[in-house]
Amino acid sequence: MSETPGKQQNTAAFYGQAVASFAVAMAATAVGIYQLSADAWVRGFLAIAVLYLVTSSFTLAKVIRDRQEGPAVPSYTPFEKR
């Protein structure tokens, strides 16, 4: 008997937990930066650093997902004549 691999779906509970966890982490970080007893420029720098880290994490996760879901061998080479 052969099984065809299907696309694995996450449950709604797992998705909800991931979104809630992300929201709590971002809120806690924002409150921590806001309550930090430092100059405004230091808090601003930390806030920008956190936003950069978050966007970089999303991009990295997407690249890894695309590589895992994509074909094992590229269907063409960039310098191939058509």
In which residue are the tokens 């966890």 written?
A: 21
Alpha-carbon span 53 to 65, nearest angstrom: 18
Residue 9 or residue 1, greater confidence: 9
Residue 19 pLDDT class (50, 70, 90 cuts): very high
Question: For residue 8, what pLDDT band results from cuts at 50, 70 and 90?
Answer: confident
C-alpha to C-alpha distance for 45 and 53, rounded to whole angstroms? 12
- Lowest mean pLDDT across 14-18, 25-29, 33-37, 63-67: 63-67
Contact present, 51 and 30 (Cβ < 8 Å): no
Residue 44: predicted pLDDT: 96
